[in-house]
Amino acid sequence: MRIFLLIILLLSPASYMFAQNGNNYLEVITNTTLNFTCDAPEDLENDQTINSAITVRVRSRNNNCTISAKLSTFLGPSGFTTTTYPIQIDYTSTNSTRAYNINTNPISLTTTNQTLFNQYTSNSVFNYYYNLILKAPGYTYPLGQYNYVILFTMTQP
Amino acid sequence: MKHTCIVILLCLFSQAAFAQAKSFNGTASGTISVFSVMSLNFTNLTGVISFNTPDDYFSGITMNNAATISVKSNVNWQLSVSAQSAFFMPMSQGASTDMPASVLGIRRNGTTTYMQMNTASQTLKTGNKGAATATGNTFDIDTRINPGFGYSGGSYNIGVLFTLSQQ
């Protein structure tokens, strides 16, 4: 019995802090493939935009929340070194009636979280729509494939 | 058993007191594929060159800054030049058929030696990857045509091939 209770005790904080549940969750929907190709001068010299690329669905029933995003991965071919990254997300619209502090400017993603918006507590699920932008990489990026992962985080106090 | 439950309750309260902010995550991923991109642009190319005076034949005709070449490339590059034929093509009746491509010389502006054209490729310039505004990626060329007196009067034409490639 003691061992059983001890196991419950050890597991309970982890589940409390990290579980997604029906009342509180963040869902990221990619509406198309998020792949960019640069094989012509104009691709290197101009921004490329994938319209309506990402939908962020938020339900935050227990508390207000903050939604942020960062690059959790940005891997390039041999020779690639940078501290600035060419990926931006650009807010376009929402059906939310509970959002505030929406950052409506294109956000250049980095490896540090940046706030996208806040949402007041609500029973409803709201969608937030984003374009994805590849900033003109120019002529100095090494040839090859770059893989990136955008991590969206919903935080409740 | 009673002591155990008390300890558990104390621990739960302790966790509640120090609970961290709750966070929920989602991800989106993709790729960026960068292929070799090279572009070559010519401007201010001179058209017909006329030999009208004896001096033109004695000394040849030199045209400095005859053309401006701009290179865009995301790899280090090499620009080569060659004649598309071994001889100038006669374009008028009576013109010689044996005027060699070497009558035409091309050099990068700012250098001293002309490269006499032939059908073999010769390196005109190399450069580093970058836009047209990058140092060394935009430059002028000079041309000189010096046929001497060995060929008949007439109109002549020759194609010059510029080839941009990766170093």
* B63 near A CB under 8 A: no
> Would you say A126 and A57 are in contact if contact means Cβ atoms under 8 Å apart?
yes
Report the alpha-carbon distance of residue A93 to residue A128 in Å, rounded: 6
* B8 near A CB under 8 A: yes
| Identity of residue A85 | Y
- Whether residue B45 is predicted with pLDDT greater than 90 in this model: the reply is no
Tell me which chain A residues have a C-beta less than 8 angstroms from the C-beta of B166.
none
| Identity of residue A79 | G
pLDDT at position B49 is 86
Strand partners, A144: B34
Confidence grade of residue B11 (pLDDT, cut at 50, 70, 90): very low
The tally of domains found in chain A comes to 1
Residue B29 distance to chain A (closest CA, Å):
4
CATH at residue B83: 2.60.40
pLDDT at position A20 is 67
| Identity of residue B105 | G
Confidence grade of residue A7 (pLDDT, cut at 50, 70, 90): very low
- B61 vs B12, which has greater pLDDT? B61
Residue B45 distance to chain A (closest CA, Å):
23
Specify if A4 maps to a domain. Answer: no
> Would you say B32 and A146 are in contact if contact means Cβ atoms under 8 Å apart?
yes
Tell me which chain B residues have a C-beta less than 8 angstroms from the C-beta of A36.
30-33
Report the alpha-carbon distance of residue B130 to residue B75 in Å, rounded: 8
Report the alpha-carbon distance of residue B25 to residue A28 in Å, rounded: 9
Specify if B18 maps to a domain. Answer: no
Residue B78 distance to chain A (closest CA, Å):
16
- Whether residue A8 is predicted with pLDDT greater than 70 in this model: the reply is no
Tell me which chain A residues have a C-beta less than 8 angstroms from the C-beta of B19.
13, 16-17
Distances in Å between the Cα of A147 and the Cα atoms of A142, B20, B31, B77 are 13, 32, 5, 27
- Whether residue B19 is predicted with pLDDT greater than 90 in this model: the reply is no
Q: How far is CA A148 from the centre of its chain?
A: 11
Specify if A14 maps to a domain. Answer: no
Hey, what are B72's tokens?
């865009």
Specify if A9 maps to a domain. Answer: no
CATH at residue A145: 2.60.40
- Whether residue B137 is predicted with pLDDT greater than 90 in this model: the reply is yes
3-state secondary structure of A41: helix
Report the alpha-carbon distance of residue A60 to residue A68 in Å, rounded: 14
Tell me the ipTM for this assembly: 0.86
pLDDT at position A82 is 84
- Whether residue B28 is predicted with pLDDT greater than 50 in this model: the reply is yes
The sheet carrying B160-166 orders its strands as B122-127, B77-83, B160-166
Confidence grade of residue B3 (pLDDT, cut at 50, 70, 90): low
pLDDT above 90: percentage of residues in chain A: 82
- Whether residue A22 is predicted with pLDDT greater than 90 in this model: the reply is no
* pLDDT average, residue stretch A122-128: 96
Strands (E), A6-125: 24-30, 34-38, 48-60, 65-75, 87-94, 99-100, 107-108, 114-119
- Whether residue B52 is predicted with pLDDT greater than 50 in this model: the reply is yes
Specify if B10 maps to a domain. Answer: no
Range of the domain at B150: 38-166
When scoring A133, A139, A140 by the number of chain B Cβ atoms within 10 A, the one with the most, hence best to mutate, is A139
* A43 near B CB under 8 A: yes
Specify if B141 maps to a domain. Answer: yes
Hey, what are B109's tokens?
């502006």
Range of the domain at A149: 19-155
Q: Do B32 and A153 touch (CB under 8 A)?
A: no
Specify if B7 maps to a domain. Answer: no
Segment 117-136 of chain A within 8 Å of chain B by CB: 132, 134
Specify if B131 maps to a domain. Answer: yes
Closest CA in chain A for residue B132: A139
The CA-based angle A93-A98-A101, given to 5 degrees, is: 70
Min mean pLDDT across A79-83, B43-47, B70-74, B111-115 is at B43-47
Q: Do A86 and B22 touch (CB under 8 A)?
A: no
Specify if B16 maps to a domain. Answer: no
Q: Do A152 and B37 touch (CB under 8 A)?
A: no
The tally of domains found in chain B comes to 1
Provide the 8-state DSSP code for B110.
T
Specify if A38 maps to a domain. Answer: yes
How many CB pairs below 8 A link A and B?
146
- Whether residue B37 is predicted with pLDDT greater than 70 in this model: the reply is yes
Q: Do A139 and B37 touch (CB under 8 A)?
A: yes
pLDDT at position A4 is 46
- A109 vs B51, which has greater pLDDT? A109
pLDDT at position A14 is 37
Strand B160-166 to B77-83 pairing: antiparallel
Full-model pTM: 0.81
pLDDT at position B71 is 98
Confidence grade of residue A6 (pLDDT, cut at 50, 70, 90): very low
Specify if A7 maps to a domain. Answer: no
pLDDT at position B47 is 73
The sheet carrying B38-43 orders its strands as B38-43, B61-73, B138-145, B104-108, B115-116
pLDDT at position A116 is 98
